[in-house]
A = this chain, B = another copy of it.
Amino acid sequence: MQNNKTITQVEVPEVVVQRLPIYVRILSQLLESHIEIISSHQLGELLQITPAQIRKDLSYFGRFGKQGRGYNIQFLLDELRQILGIDRAWKACLIGLGRLGRAIINYPGFSPEGFEIVAAFDNNVAQYNSNLGTITVQSMDEIAHTVKEKNISIGIVAVPSNQAQSVIDTLVESGITGILNYAPIAPFAPKHIVMRNIDPVLSLQSMTFYMKENDEIN
Q: Which residues of A contact B (CB under 8 A)?
A: 17-18, 20-22, 24-26, 46-48, 83-86, 90, 92, 99-100, 102-104, 106-107, 109-110, 113, 115, 151, 153-154, 177-178, 180, 184-186, 188, 192, 194, 196, 198, 200-212, 214-215, 218
In the complex where A20-B206, A107-B100, A208-B85 touch, is A198 in contact with B200 (Cβ < 8 A)? yes
Contact of A211 among B47, B104, B153, B211 (CB under 8 A): B153
Given A210-B194, A211-B194: A24 and B205 within 8 A (CB)?
yes
Once the chains are docked, how many angstroms separate the CA of A53 from the CA of B68?
A: 45
Which residues on the B side are within 8 Å of A178 (C-beta)? 204, 207-208, 210-211
Determine whether the beta carbon of A204 is less than 8 Å from that of B180: yes
Residues of B within 8 A of A207 (CB): 154, 178, 180, 194, 196
| 11 contacting pairs across A/B (C-beta < 8 A) | A20-B209, A24-B205, A90-B204, A104-B200, A110-B200, A113-B201, A115-B201, A153-B215, A154-B211, A178-B204, A198-B198
Q: With A100-B103, A177-B215 in contact, do A202 and B22 touch (Cβ < 8 Å)?
A: yes
By secondary structure, the A interface counts as: helix
Chain B residue, CB-CB nearest to A151: B218
Provide the residues of chain B in CB contact with A212, threshold 8 Å: 84-85
Contacts known (A21-B202, A177-B215, A180-B204); A99 close to B103, Cβ less than 8 A:
yes
